[in-house]
């Protein structure tokens, strides 16, 4: 079997659930790294800037935590320089748009009537009817609709909570438009991973570890690598996905992978 050099690792439901790290996850990451694998964290959670997740991993003792990509960063690759982008999402999307050269526009009363080139929808804990109305008006006026991801839920310590995909579904329903999706399992995120990891990245040397079959499993297929499914997050939601191994958690996944590194 081809040796494993790269681990593409989800965060929510794999490394942590809500505020709590899943037992053994930090130790598993260290084990993978010491075994010779380069671990990259790829999350569909767009709410916080990457620095938030990097700091959280670093504080827990994870090395090379900066090797991380969010769906907000993937969505920002779909924005042209100087485009005015209505942010129907958290601060992670606002920062990503700014860093990409776009002009983020807050979803406030002042945004109504202004020229908007694109609307990006992601997880937004302050989402309400007025924000939905402004986003829908911008899209109906010609703005492109971009979704950071389509995950309708994400795992927490107390069960599944509504995700960015649930908010996006409301905007799509209000506009009759289908969003261009950026995060896992879609091409913009795959392209972002390939660019960040570098030209030495080969799918046959990589494994995706995740809990959600419809995103993590299909993202593995998009990349062309193998998929290890963990049961520490959401329940399996796409039985058509090809799974290399099914294990309870990241610690068990590491045991399978280290011998192949």
pLDDT tens per residue across span 89-111: 999 999 999 999 999 999 988 87
Taking the alpha carbons at both ends of the chain, their separation in whole angstroms is: 10
Cβ–Cβ under 8 Å, residues 12 and 43: yes
Which residue did the predictor score with more confidence, 141 or 3? Answer: 141
Mean pLDDT score of the chain: 95
Neighbour tally for 153: CB within 10 Å:
18
Which residues, other chains included, contact 59 with Cβ-Cβ below 8 Å and sequence gap of 6+? none
Cβ–Cβ under 8 Å, residues 9 and 197: no
Cβ–Cβ under 8 Å, residues 144 and 171: no
If pLDDT is split at 50, 70 and 90, which confidence band does 1 have?
A: very low
Cβ–Cβ under 8 Å, residues 210 and 236: no
Neighbour tally for 75: CB within 10 Å:
33
Give the per-residue pLDDT at 237: 86
Mean pLDDT confidence for 166-179:
98
**Residue indicated by tokens 């694109």:** 118
Question: Token digits for 121?
Answer: 């929808």
Cis omega before residue 185 (within 30°)? Answer: yes
Give the per-residue pLDDT at 111: 76
Q: Please report which residue ranges of 100-228 form alpha helices under DSSP H.
A: 129-140, 164-175, 187-197, 218-223
| Tens-digit pLDDT profile for residues 192-210 | 999 999 999 999 999 999 9
Give the per-residue pLDDT at 15: 98
Extended strands (E) in 34-109: 38-43, 68-70, 84-88, 103-106
How many angstroms separate the CA atoms of 208 and 40, rounded? 10
Picking from 10-14, 45-49, 121-125, 197-201, which range would have the lowest pLDDT averaged per residue?
197-201
Which residues, other chains included, contact 47 with Cβ-Cβ below 8 Å and sequence gap of 6+? 89, 90, 91, 92, 122, 123, 124, 125, 164
Cβ–Cβ under 8 Å, residues 106 and 131: no
If pLDDT is split at 50, 70 and 90, which confidence band does 232 have?
A: very high
- pLDDT for 112 beyond 80: no
């Amino acid at each position: 079997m081809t040796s494993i050099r790269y681990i593409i690792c989800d965060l929510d439901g794999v490394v942590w659930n809500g505020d709590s790290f899943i037992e053994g996850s930090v130790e598993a990451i260290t084990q993978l790294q010491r075994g010779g694998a380069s671990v990259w964290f790829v999350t569909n959670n767009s709410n916080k800037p990457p620095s938030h997740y990097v700091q959280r991993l670093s504080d827990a003792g994870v090395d090379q935590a900066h090797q991380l990509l969010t769906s907000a960063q993937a969505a920002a690759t779909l924005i042209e320089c100087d485009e005015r982008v209505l942010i129907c999402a958290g601060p992670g999307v606002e920062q990503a748009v700014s860093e990409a050269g776009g002009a983020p526009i807050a979803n406030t009363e002042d945004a109504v009537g202004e020229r908007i080139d694109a609307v990006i929808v992601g997880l937004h804990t302050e989402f309400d009817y007025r924000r939905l109305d402004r986003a829908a008006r911008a899209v109906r006026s010609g703005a492109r609709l971009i979704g950071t991801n389509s995950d309708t839920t994400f795992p927490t310590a107390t069960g599944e909570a509504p995700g960015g995909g649930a908010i996006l579904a409301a905007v799509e329903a209000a506009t009759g438009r289908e969003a261009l999706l950026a995060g896992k399992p879609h091409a913009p995120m795959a392209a972002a991973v390939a660019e960040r990891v570098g030209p030495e990245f080969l799918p046959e040397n990589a494994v995706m570890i995740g809990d959600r079959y419809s995103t993590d499993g299909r993202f593995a297929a998009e990349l062309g690598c193998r998929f290890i499914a963990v049961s520490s997050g959401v329940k399996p939601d796409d039985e058509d996905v090809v799974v290399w191994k099914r294990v309870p958690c990241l610690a068990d996944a590491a045991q399978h992978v280290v011998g192949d590194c």
